């Protein structure tokens, strides 16, 4: 019985976070912290910092990683699946609804006009995301070099993005293995 109650609480907690947070995974971090630490006392504040750090370094959506990790910790594999389902379901349903409505109205002149403006704003938002990431990620000339190499390989040689990610990761690991003294610097 107790097990069932935990699963239900996990599901609704993540359903609520997924259904009411705008701005994606990063915007959810403070909400997840509040729900999981302050409201339900599932993990300590220290532990949640660890969990969220791992969630951000795993591949995939940060929101999914967080809900799966917390669900897994609380109630094993079933907990992980139930929590993640709770996180995904609101998005899935809302987007299906919007997609259906949007498909019916996308040829409308006013909708088209609004989206010309929205697309222009999207360019600004992504540029800002790139700039913020640049400030956080590129710490020295080697970083600049990797960035320039990425742009050249991407635009001039059409190299697949996944190969570039693997290449960058491999280069970083190689660099840190060959020059362990660099570790102290960062």
Partner 1 sequence: MMILELFWIFFKIGLFSFGGGYAMIPLIQNEIVSRGWLTAEGFANIVGIAEMTPGPIAINMATFVGYKTIGVFGSVGATLGVALPSILLILLVSKVFFTYQKHPLKKGLFYGMRPVIVGLILSAAYFIAETSLFIVKPGEWSGHYLANIDWVSVGIALLTVLGMRKLKLHPILLLGIGGAVRIGFKLLGL
Q: Within positions 30 to 49, which residues make up the interface with partner 1, using CB under 8 A?
A: none
C-alpha distances in Å from residue 141, one per residue of 99, 127, 136, 138: 44, 21, 14, 8
> In terms of CB distance, is 12 or 20 closer to partner 1?
20
Contacts (CB under 8 A) with partner 1, residues 161-180: 161-162, 164-177, 180
Q: Is 13 in the site for partner 1 (CB under 8 A)?
A: no
Other CB atoms closer than 10 Å to residue 21's CB: what's the count?
19
Number of residues near partner 1 (by CB under 8 A): 97
Q: Are 92 and 77 in contact (CB under 8 A)?
A: no
Q: Is 7 in the site for partner 1 (CB under 8 A)?
A: no
Contacts (CB under 8 A) with partner 1, residues 108-147: 110, 113-130, 133-134, 136-139, 143-144, 146-147
> In terms of CB distance, is 1 or 110 closer to partner 1?
110
Smallest separation (angstroms) from partner 1 to the CB of 4? 21
Q: Which residues contact 14 (CB under 8 A, 6 or more apart)?
A: 67, 71, 83, 84, 86, 87
Task: Please report the sign of the dihedral spanned by the C-alpha atoms of residue 43, residue 75, residue 72, residue 62.
Answer: negative
| Contacting range for partner 1; rule: CB under 8 A; set: 5-13, 38-46, 82-90 | 82-90
Q: Are 3 and 40 in contact (CB under 8 A)?
A: no
Distance CA 122, CA 124 (A): 5
Binding partner 1 (rule: CB under 8 A), the pick from 9, 68, 82, 86 is 68
Contacts (CB under 8 A) with partner 1, residues 14-33: 18-26, 28
> In terms of CB distance, is 1 or 180 closer to partner 1?
180
Closest to 145 in 3D by CA, of 168, 176, 123, 173? 168
Binding partner 1 (rule: CB under 8 A), the pick from 39, 44, 106, 108 is 106
């Amino acid at each position: 019985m107790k097990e069932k109650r935990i699963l239900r609480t996990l599901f609704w907690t993540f359903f609520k976070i997924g259904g009411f947070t705008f701005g994606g995974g990063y915007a959810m971090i403070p909400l997840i912290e509040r729900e999981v630490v302050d409201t339900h006392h599932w993990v300590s504040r220290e532990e949640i910092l660890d969990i969220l750090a791992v969630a951000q370094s795993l591949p995939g959506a940060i929101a999914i990683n967080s809900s799966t990790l917390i669900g897994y910790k609380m109630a094993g594999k079933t907990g992980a699946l139930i929590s993640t389902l709770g996180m995904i379901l609101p998005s899935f349903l809302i987007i299906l609804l919007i997609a259906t409505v949007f498909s019916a109205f996308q040829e409308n002149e006013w909708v088209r006009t609004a989206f010309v403006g929205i697309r222009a704003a999207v360019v600004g938002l992504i540029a800002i995301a790139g700039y913020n990431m640049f400030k956080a990620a590129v710490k020295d000339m080697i970083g600049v070099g990797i960035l320039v190499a990425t742009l050249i390989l991407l635009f001039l040689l059409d190299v697949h993005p996944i190969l570039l990610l693997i290449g960058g990761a491999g280069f970083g690991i190689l660099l840190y293995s060959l020059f362990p003294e660099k570790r102290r610097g960062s």
